[in-house]
């Protein structure tokens, strides 16, 4: 039971725990086992049914035990009482026997006669409740019979009331109680049972009982008790013979057991429910019933036997009790079990219901959540759609407004009007920018912004961005510089547009908020960050004594411009580690390179440092939140919406990096971000220079230059740009050192470096003007070698005319390299200074498409066939522009004539819609002609040597409609392609590129 209870307890606890878990953790357990819930319920019900059955059985068994106990106790009680009563009666009979022996035999003459006996026994009958009556029979031997009969005046009769036949002995009743007076004079020995009884009694000297039989008078079942009466006193241990000898008579009494027991039971409580049988079991195989009905129905299942000892050792009796009725159904047990079951059932059902409810609620919840997400998505999508539409709708008229404003500004306006118009234009531009940014942001939020993965040149993008801001920065006299670590691959894979956007945003911000000092963009591999931090720590350990130099009373920092920056990482102390580290690695460790190569991606760290107004501390934590500017006055002073940085952050995160910044108010800010780019497999790392040189003129390779700059960071930037051009660079911190270096070289025959060019930073020049004199004084030819004088060029962010004049006077070249430096710009300036490779450069400068087209079409002879004179003229003009020699034909027939073989046309542009003979027909005929010619040519091989291969003039259709079907028809009739009318450069290029191999322009 205990185990079972525990089990069930455990079960319910488990369910509870399940529920708790279910509610706590969303849909873990209950949801996961939802299919099992009905099974759980069934199991629960079954377990409970089993349990309640068990309870019922247990209680029932208890009841039975109790019932049995009750029965046995009742039975024993009855048996004991019966036995007691019986022994009391027996005792009294004993006493009567003694009375008879005393007064009948010891007294002479007898003191007792029938009358006395009858009276006495009648008056003492209460003492013998069990006996219906007592009688005394005298022992009469046959020899004495006559004497006896005479004495009493009657003959001895048998039980059948007839005169007794002659026997050895007789036991005629002489005294009898009135209740049994009918047995007087009857010979007790004539009855079988009585005789046996008598014989046994006198042999033992004790009260003996007969087996039960029907009594004479009442016809009740009864037994006869017989007690011997002795004449004389017996010896202490008499033998059987002595006893028989001494026997005088027998006192007998009939026990009416039936009425006796009935009487007795009637006195006891619970008489009705119990059924009592009394048996004589002297012969165990054949129990004789003394009381009760043999075939009485009752509860046969349960009976109790009690031993009865009536004082006769020869006879055995027993009492058997049973219940009248079968054990009543145990309603208590049944109800208890049933109620238990019902309660458990209900509990189970409640739990089940709860679980089902939980499941349902959770399901609903998830459904709702999904719906919510969908609704939100729909909402977002709708708003995005709205935004996109509205933005577009705004943009279109805004373009009109801006265009008109631009035109308006071209007209004659008064200064006020012009001012108004300009203001309107500025506002319009700001609005367009805002709309674009909002669109961008919306796109990013909608997750629709996908980054491209195309190879691009990071350095040239940085150059482009810088050139965008060069005008602004120059106006503000802010130095703008970029430095890309050599270890950054020349070509990386990524989204150039977005990268440009990020850089533009950051640099744009910096430019906006910086009034003095510098803006410095630096790109290096993210792994390089570590040595720099170490370097920083080193600087700190050194006590930072060399950090600031006192120059003209102000603290001078070793940053790009000398102004303090928020983040010292870009100051020379750490920067030189980077540069030095780079060089050593670049030269020595190939392993490193290999290791770098191995990884698919390259993580770049880009930092944009400025010395602007910085970001107030309180505003620093919401810099990246959209529409949050440092404070409201910011937008008043500087404009902008504050959305740029949040877009930047999103973009950086899309690129797999993160953005952070360090800012100190009034000192400056440094934004740095990392971004992951793919490596370009095509361009091996070792060829970085070569690929660099592809978009940069290579005419400077191997040139040597000295950069004179007091500020090492700036010198490193200059060096970086020159290096990209393939120029070997030495850095000198002042003019004097440079001069001495040159001088030394001059004397030692250029063993180390013979500079072709000396680049002098304006600041250095101004601070060391004497040095420049020493330059001029130097006589390069004095050593007998004819050196080319090194060209001297000034580097400046901003230069006044006066300064320029002065510089010219000092011997600098006319061209000043204006900062911010870009490799291509530097190259252009150096071209001017050095006067080399100018022509090629000019060629290279042409816009990409047209230059290629030019190279394709240059010198080609092209036939244009069109019936429309205007179209003809325009097509011819367009083709001529790209250097082709054009001939025109105004109809298909004319074209056929011109294309009679052999001809010298390289291509034919054919209009399709022409009267008489349209383009298709003309082409078909031309092709037919050509195939005939080819056959002939194959016949005479030697003729074909002039023109290798077959005749096949490329024919391109010119058509205004570019439906695909038209195109198919073009191909079908033997044309090679088509160009849409009117000509578009790109379209033309695509069509033409298939047939012509580009010829270098220089050939023309």
Partner 1 sequence: MLGLGADRLRADMNRLLAFLFHQGILDEQYLQLQQLQDESSPNFVSEVVNIYFHESEKLLRNLRSLLMDREFSDYKKMGIHLNQFMGSSSSIGAKRVRNVCVAFRAASEQNNRAGCLRALELLEHEYCFLKNKLHELFQIEQQRVLAAGVRYPMQN
List contacts with partner 1 (CB under 8 A).
Answer: 403-404, 407, 410-412, 866-871, 873-874, 877-878, 880-881, 911, 913, 915, 960, 981-984
CA distances from 992 to 851, 976, 999 (A): 14, 10, 13
Cα separation, 356 vs 351, in Å, equals 8
Give the chain's end-to-end CA distance (angstroms, integer).
Answer: 111
Q: Which is nearer to partner 1, 281 or 856 (CB)?
A: 856
**Rounded least distance, CB 923 to partner 1, Å:** 19
Residue 699: CA atoms inside 13 Å, Cβ hemisphere, count? 18
Residue recorded with tokens 């609005």: 431
**Rounded least distance, CB 956 to partner 1, Å:** 17
Cα separation, 931 vs 937, in Å, equals 10
Q: Which is nearer to partner 1, 683 or 879 (CB)?
A: 879
Cα separation, 961 vs 912, in Å, equals 10
Beta-ladder partners of 726? none
**Rounded least distance, CB 698 to partner 1, Å:** 28
Beta-ladder partners of 861? 885
Cα separation, 103 vs 116, in Å, equals 11
Contact indicator for 609, 522 with CB cutoff of 8 Å: yes
- Let me know the angle formed at the C-alpha of 97 by 95 and 103, rounded to the nearest 5 degrees: 100
**Rounded least distance, CB 391 to partner 1, Å:** 23
Q: Which is nearer to partner 1, 354 or 404 (CB)?
A: 404
Cα separation, 813 vs 804, in Å, equals 10
**Tokens matching residue 612:** 């602007």
**Rounded least distance, CB 406 to partner 1, Å:** 9
**Rounded least distance, CB 645 to partner 1, Å:** 38
**Rounded least distance, CB 849 to partner 1, Å:** 12
**Rounded least distance, CB 436 to partner 1, Å:** 23
Per-residue burial over 410-440, b if 16 or more Cβ lie within 10 Å, else e, is: eeeeeeeeeeebeebbeebeeebeebebbbb
**Rounded least distance, CB 988 to partner 1, Å:** 11
Cα separation, 439 vs 450, in Å, equals 14
Contact indicator for 239, 345 with CB cutoff of 8 Å: no
**Rounded least distance, CB 877 to partner 1, Å:** 4
**Rounded least distance, CB 790 to partner 1, Å:** 25
**Tokens matching residue 607:** 């930092």
Q: Which is nearer to partner 1, 461 or 1001 (CB)?
A: 1001
Cα separation, 795 vs 709, in Å, equals 9
Q: Which is nearer to partner 1, 652 or 878 (CB)?
A: 878
Smallest Cα–Cα separation from 8: which of 504, 343, 432?
A: 343
**Rounded least distance, CB 412 to partner 1, Å:** 7
User: How far out from the chain centre does Cα 950 lie?
Assistant: 69
Taking only Cα atoms into account, the Rg of the chain, rounded to an integer number of angstroms, comes to: 69
Stated as kind and residue range, the H or E segment containing 519 is strand 518-525
CA distances from 864 to 320, 650, 951 (A): 141, 53, 18
Q: Which is nearer to partner 1, 802 or 870 (CB)?
A: 870
- Centre a 10 Å sphere on the Cβ of residue 325 and count the other Cβ atoms it contains: 12
Q: Which is nearer to partner 1, 488 or 922 (CB)?
A: 922
Q: Which is nearer to partner 1, 878 or 908 (CB)?
A: 878
Q: Which is nearer to partner 1, 698 or 987 (CB)?
A: 987
**Rounded least distance, CB 811 to partner 1, Å:** 20
Q: Which is nearer to partner 1, 758 or 922 (CB)?
A: 922
Contact indicator for 338, 52 with CB cutoff of 8 Å: yes
**Rounded least distance, CB 991 to partner 1, Å:** 16
Q: Which is nearer to partner 1, 405 or 975 (CB)?
A: 405
Contact indicator for 615, 660 with CB cutoff of 8 Å: no
Following CA atoms 869, 871, 874, 879 in sequence, which dihedral angle do they give, to the nearest 10 degrees?
Answer: -110
Q: Which is nearer to partner 1, 236 or 915 (CB)?
A: 915
- Centre a 10 Å sphere on the Cβ of residue 941 and count the other Cβ atoms it contains: 8
Q: Which is nearer to partner 1, 286 or 412 (CB)?
A: 412
Stated as kind and residue range, the H or E segment containing 857 is helix 848-857
Cα separation, 886 vs 891, in Å, equals 15
Q: Which is nearer to partner 1, 684 or 843 (CB)?
A: 843
The answer, yes or no, to whether the previous bond of 109 is cis (omega within 30 of 0) is: yes
**Rounded least distance, CB 404 to partner 1, Å:** 8
**Rounded least distance, CB 886 to partner 1, Å:** 11
Following CA atoms 925, 927, 932, 937 in sequence, which dihedral angle do they give, to the nearest 10 degrees?
Answer: 150
Q: Which is nearer to partner 1, 769 or 961 (CB)?
A: 961
Cα separation, 758 vs 765, in Å, equals 12
Q: Which is nearer to partner 1, 404 or 526 (CB)?
A: 404
Cα separation, 630 vs 512, in Å, equals 13
Q: Please state the three-class secondary structure of 159-172 as a single string.
A: CCCCECCCCCEECE
Q: Which is nearer to partner 1, 806 or 873 (CB)?
A: 873
Q: Which is nearer to partner 1, 798 or 980 (CB)?
A: 980
**Rounded least distance, CB 875 to partner 1, Å:** 8
Cα separation, 509 vs 640, in Å, equals 9
Output phi, psi for 284, to 5 deg. Answer: -65, -30
**Rounded least distance, CB 850 to partner 1, Å:** 10
Distant-in-sequence, close-in-space partners of 640: CB < 8 Å, separation ≥ 6: 509, 512, 629, 634
């Amino acid at each position: 039971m205990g185990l079972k209870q525990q089990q069930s307890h455990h079960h319910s606890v488990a369910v509870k725990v399940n529920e708790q878990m279910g509610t706590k953790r969303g849909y873990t357990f209950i949801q996961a086992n939802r299919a099992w819930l009905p099974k759980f319920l069934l199991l629960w019900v079954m377990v409970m049914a089993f349990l309640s059955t068990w309870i019922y059985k247990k209680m029932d068994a208890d009841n039975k035990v109790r019932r049995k106990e009750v029965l046995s106790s009742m039975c024993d009680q009855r048996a004991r009482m019966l036995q007691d009563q019986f022994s009391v009666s027996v005792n009294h009979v004993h006493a009567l026997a003694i009375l008879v022996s005393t007064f009948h035999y010891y007294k002479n003459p007898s003191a007792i006669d029938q009358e006395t006996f009858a009276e006495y026994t009648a008056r003492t009958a209460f003492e013998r409740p069990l006996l219906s009556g007592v009688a005394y029979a005298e022992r009469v031997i046959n020899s004495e019979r006559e004497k006896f009969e005479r004495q009493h005046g009657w003959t001895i009769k048998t039980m059948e009331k007839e005169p007794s036949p002659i026997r050895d002995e007789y036991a005629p009743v002489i005294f009898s109680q009135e209740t049994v007076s009918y047995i007087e004079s009857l010979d007790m020995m004539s009855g079988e049972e009585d005789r046996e009884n008598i014989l046994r009694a006198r042999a033992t000297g004790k009260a003996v009982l007969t087996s039960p039989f029907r009594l004479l008078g009442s016809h009740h079942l009864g037994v006869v008790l017989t007690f011997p009466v002795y004449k004389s006193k017996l010896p202490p241990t008499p033998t059987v013979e002595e006893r028989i000898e001494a026997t005088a008579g027998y006192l007998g009494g009939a026990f009416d057991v039936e009425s006796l027991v009935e009487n007795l039971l009637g006195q006891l409580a619970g008489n009705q429910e119990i059924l009592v049988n009394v048996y004589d079991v002297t012969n165990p195989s054949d129990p004789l019933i003394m009381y009760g009905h043999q075939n009485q129905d009752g509860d046969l299942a349960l009976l109790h036997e009690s031993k009865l000892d009536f004082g006769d050792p020869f006879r055995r009796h027993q009492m058997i009790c049973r219940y009248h009725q079968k054990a009543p159904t145990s309603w208590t047990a049944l109800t208890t079990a049933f109620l238990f079951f019902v309660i458990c059932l209900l509990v189970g059902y409640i739990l089940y219901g709860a679980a089902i409810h939980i499941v349902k609620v959770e399901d609903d919840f998830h459904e709702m959540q999904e719906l919510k997400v969908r609704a939100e998505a729909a909402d977002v999508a709708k708003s995005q759609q709205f935004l996109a539409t509205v933005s577009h709708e705004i943009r279109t008229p805004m373009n009109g407004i801006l265009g008109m404003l631009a035109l308006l500004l071209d007209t004659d306006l008064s200064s006020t009007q012009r001012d108004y118009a300009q203001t309107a234009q500025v506002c319009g531009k700001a609005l367009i920018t805002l709309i674009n940014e909002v669109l961008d942001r919306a796109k990013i939020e909608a997750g629709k912004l996908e980054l491209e993965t195309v190879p691009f040149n990071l350095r040239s993008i940085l150059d482009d961005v810088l050139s965008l801001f060069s005008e602004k920065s120059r106006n503000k006299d802010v130095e703008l510089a970029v430095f890309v670590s050599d270890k950054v691959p020349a070509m990386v894979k990524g989204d150039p547009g977005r990268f440009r956007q990020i850089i533009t945003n950051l640099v744009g911000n910096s430019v906006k908020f910086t009034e003095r000092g510098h803006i410095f963009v630096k790109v290096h591999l993210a792994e390089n960050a570590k040595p720099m931090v170490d370097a920083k720590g080193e600087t700190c350990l050194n006590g930072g004594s060399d950090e600031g130099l006192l120059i003209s009373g102000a603290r001078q920092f070793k940053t790009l411009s000398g102004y303090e920056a928020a983040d010292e990482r870009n100051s020379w102390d750490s920067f030189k580690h980077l540069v030095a580290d780079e060089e050593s690695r670049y030269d020595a460790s190939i392993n490193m390179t290999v290791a770098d190569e191995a990884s698919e991606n390259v993580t770049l760290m880009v930092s944009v440092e400025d010395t602007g107004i910085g970001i107030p501390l309180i505003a620093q934590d919401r810099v990246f939140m959209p529409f949050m500017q440092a404070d409201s006055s910011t937008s008043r002073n500087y404009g902008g919406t504050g959305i740029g940085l949040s877009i930047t952050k999103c973009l950086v995160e899309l690129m797999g990096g993160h953005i952070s910044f360090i800012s100190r108010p009034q000192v400056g800010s440094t934004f740095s971000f990392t971004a992951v780019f793919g490596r370009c497999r095509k361009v091996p790392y070792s060829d970085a220079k070569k690929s660099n040189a592809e978009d940069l003129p290579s005419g400077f390779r191997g040139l040597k230059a000295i950069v004179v700059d007091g500020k090492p960071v700036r010198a490193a930037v200059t060096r970086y740009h020159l290096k990209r051009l393939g120029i070997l660079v030495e850095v000198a911190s002042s003019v004097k050192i440079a001069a001495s270096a040159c001088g030394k070289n001059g004397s030692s025959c250029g063993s180390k470096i013979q500079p072709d060019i000396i680049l002098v930073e304006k600041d250095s020049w101004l601070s060391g003007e004497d040095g420049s004199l020493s330059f001029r004084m130097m006589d390069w030819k004095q050593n007998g070698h004819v050196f080319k004088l090194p060209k001297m060029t000034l580097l400046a962010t901003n230069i006044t005319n006066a300064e320029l004049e002065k510089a010219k006077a000092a011997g600098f070249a006319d061209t000043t390299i204006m900062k911010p430096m870009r490799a291509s710009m530097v190259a252009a300036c150096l071209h001017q200074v050095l006067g080399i490779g100018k022509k090629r450069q000019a060629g290279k400068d042409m816009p990409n498409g047209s230059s290629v087209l030019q190279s394709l079409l240059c010198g080609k002879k092209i036939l244009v066939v069109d019936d429309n004179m205007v179209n003809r003229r325009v097509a011819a003009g367009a083709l001529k522009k790209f250097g082709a020699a054009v001939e025109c034909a105004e109809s298909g027939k004319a074209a056929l004539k011109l294309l009679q073989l052999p001809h010298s046309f390289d291509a034919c542009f054919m209009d399709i819609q022409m009267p008489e003979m349209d383009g298709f027909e003309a082409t078909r005929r031309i092709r037919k002609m050509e195939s005939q010619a080819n056959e002939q040519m194959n016949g005479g091989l030697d003729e074909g040597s002039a023109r290798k291969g077959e005749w096949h003039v490329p024919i391109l259709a010119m058509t205004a409609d570019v439906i695909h079907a038209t195109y198919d028809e073009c191909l079908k009739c033997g044309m090679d392609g088509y160009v849409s009318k009117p000509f578009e450069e790109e379209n033309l290029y695509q069509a033409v590129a298939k047939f012509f191999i580009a010829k270098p322009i220089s050939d023309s």
